[in-house]
Amino acid sequence: MKKSAAVRLGATLATAALAAATGLAVSTSSASAAVTGSATGYATQNGGTTGGAGGQTVRATTGTAIHTALCNRASSSTPIIIEVQGTINHGNTTKVSGSSCNTAAGVIELKQISNVTIVGVGSGAVFDQLGIHIRESSNIIIQNVTVRNVKKSGSPTSNGGDAIGMESDVRNVWVDHATLEASGGESEGYDGLFDMKDNTQYVTLSYSILRNSGRGGLIGSSESDRSNGYVTFHHNKYENIDSRTPLLRGGIAHIYNNHYVDLHESGINSRAGARAKVDNNYFEDSKDVLGTFYTSEAGYWQVGGNVFDNVTWSARSGDNQPAGPNPTSNTSVSIPYSYSLDNANCVPDVVNRTAGANKGNQVSNGNCTPQNPGPTDPTDPTDPPTDPTDPPTGTNLSLGAGADGSSKASGTSYGNVIDGNTGSHWSPSGSTGSVSVKWSSATSVSKAHIREASGSAGAIRSWRLLNHDTGAVLASGTTAGAVSFPRTSLKKITFEITGSNGTPRVAEFETYGG
């Protein structure tokens, strides 16, 4: 195996020897010119997605080197940018052990870690028959890579047959300018190209190609797995796919400016209560590109500006409910971030020129014109600041209201957050969960104050405040306390904890109108 070019500045002799053996080159640089642009879509929410920004940059030419870079960090959350060049396969990907990693052979394992960027550089990065598995992790960027022919049956197998798979409490992932491809469907041993399961949220897939597969991808592994969502798909090309472009079970997806061509059985499959905002896409030479399919549990969609070019529609019957031949909206979806829409008529051209690996990471400016991305800016100016030292004044609207939420820890109650008693509290059953305040009629709210219980201050690390009626994000942050947001009339407001240190405890969820 050929060694990487150089083991740069400041490495010890032991590290240099390890680098030479695994295909890892170490740099003291704190940034990488190879990483371009910044996250878009839902990946900008919940504190944003910055990957390994500000961390050390290393170069890897083997899968073992990728694992070594993760395991050599000071901690599992130490930022790192891993530049990948060459072909990563089973022959050069082994398990590496360390206190800052949890890896496995035969797969690129991003498990129980955070703040990582993997970016293809030079002549390109190809993950050949080897999937990328993200599990119990957050703040991950994958850019400019090709992942191909990952199998769940036959030989060799990897990652359950998913090109990129996310599961188990995953937060904030941005996959950009990737090429994900297979060479057939399930009968040939392949599964999904881009799958999200078991509480995966705040994900964006942008400027990527998904092709030659039976299954494009899914959000939710079953009708009961509805804890996933807040996913954006934009400027992607789905080509020669049987179904699942994507399949949505519960949650919210924003799907805009994608080019769909040669979908054989079905396309966007919104089911089990899912809601999809489907804007300015171009559907071509395909069948049943939008609807609820293969289930009696309906999903919903808001449509606008799409082009249907030689699309055929089945008759509605039983478990198959296509949206066409004249798709109309049956829900509304509020999007919390800003974005620019290209006209659907130019989508095939602009996506063809920008999507996929090794295309120069160009993006569209909303005027159908490819251009180099702007400077990275991980901040989200739309998120209102919190000020825990300045609690709201006036009447606490939560007193006398109702409360509910996700699974609660034993011995706690939803009602404890609206009783005005800071000596009682609610806790989720794990490190994440949600609690809501609700009224029988619409109530105008513009401020909230989350009071953590005595002895647990600082446990909440990331959160979102939601208009439960519409799903809109009113605010997000990393420190519990007081927050202001545009005055909103609603019947139910939800405080969602998306990350915490240990088990969080909320003593009071106060709401105010002034």
pLDDT at 34: 63
Q: Does residue 116 register a pLDDT over 80?
A: yes
Instruction: Check 244, 249, 461, 464 and give the catalytic one.
Output: 244
Per-residue confidence (pLDDT) for residue 433, from 0 to 100: 83
Which residues, in sequence order, are bridge partners of residue 219? Answer: 196, 248
As a whole number of angstroms, the distance between CA 223 and CA 128 comes to 32
| DSSP three-state, residue 159 | helix
Residue 36 has pLDDT above 90, yes or no: no
Calpha distance 82→93 (Å, rounded): 15
Q: Are strands 200-206 and 170-176 parallel, antiparallel or unpaired?
A: parallel
270/156 Cα distance (integer angstroms) = 33
State the residue for tokens 């905002």: 277
Query: Token digits for 204?
Result: 């964006």
pLDDT band at 365 (very low <50, low <70, confident <90, very high): confident
* The Cα angle at residue 285 between residues 280 and 286, in degrees rounded to 5: 80
What pTM did the predictor assign? 0.72
- For the cut 50, the answer to whether the pLDDT of residue 248 exceeds it is yes
Mean pLDDT, residues 98-115 taken together: 97
Report the pLDDT value the prediction gives residue 16, as an integer from 0 to 100. 45
pLDDT of residue 282: 98
Question: Is residue 35 scored above 80 in pLDDT?
Answer: no
**281 and 246 Cβ atoms separated by less than 8 Å:** no
Structure confidence by residue, pLDDT tens digits, 49-74: 999 999 999 999 999 999 999 999 99
Per-residue pLDDT at 384 exceeds 80: no
Q: Where are the beta strands (DSSP E) in 372-469?
A: 402-405, 433-452, 460-467
Q: What is the pLDDT of residue 374?
A: 62
CB-based contacts of 344: which residues, under 8 Å, 6+ apart? 257, 280, 281, 282, 305, 306, 307
**pLDDT tens, residue by residue, 341-355:** 999 999 999 999 999
| Range list of β-strands (E), 223-365 | 229-234, 237-243, 247-249, 252-256, 259-263, 268-271, 275-279, 282-287, 290-292, 300-304, 307-312, 321-322, 363-364
**What integer is the mean pLDDT of 123-128?**
95
The percent of residues above 70 in pLDDT, for the chain, comes to 90
Question: Considering only CA atoms, which of 378, 513, 416, 361 is closest in space to residue 47?
Answer: 378
Look at residue 14 and give its three-state secondary structure: helix
The predicted model gives 124-144 an average pLDDT of 97
444 strand-pairing partners? 489
pLDDT band at 11 (very low <50, low <70, confident <90, very high): very low
CA distance 217 to 66: 25
Q: Which of 325, 323, 317, 312 is nearest to 265 (CA)?
A: 312
Residue 5 pLDDT more than 60?
no
Of 472 and 256, the one with more pLDDT: 256
Helix and strand numbers (H, E) in the chain are 3, 34
Instruction: Give the residue carrying structure tokens 């870690």.
Output: 113
If one compares 324 and 432, the residue with the highest pLDDT of the two is 324
Average pLDDT over residues 207-227: 97
**Residue 15 has what pLDDT?**
44
Check if 244 is active-site.
Answer: yes
Q: Is the pLDDT of residue 494 over 80?
A: yes
Cβ atoms of residues 490 and 469 within 8 Å: yes
**Which residue type, as a one-letter code, is found at position 311?**
V
- Tens digit of pLDDT for each residue in 271-322? 999 999 999 999 999 999 999 999 999 999 999 999 999 999 999 999 999 9
Each residue's pLDDT tens digit, 156-174: 999 999 999 999 999 999 9
Q: What is the mean pLDDT of residues 210-239?
A: 97
State the chain's mean pLDDT as an integer.
Answer: 89
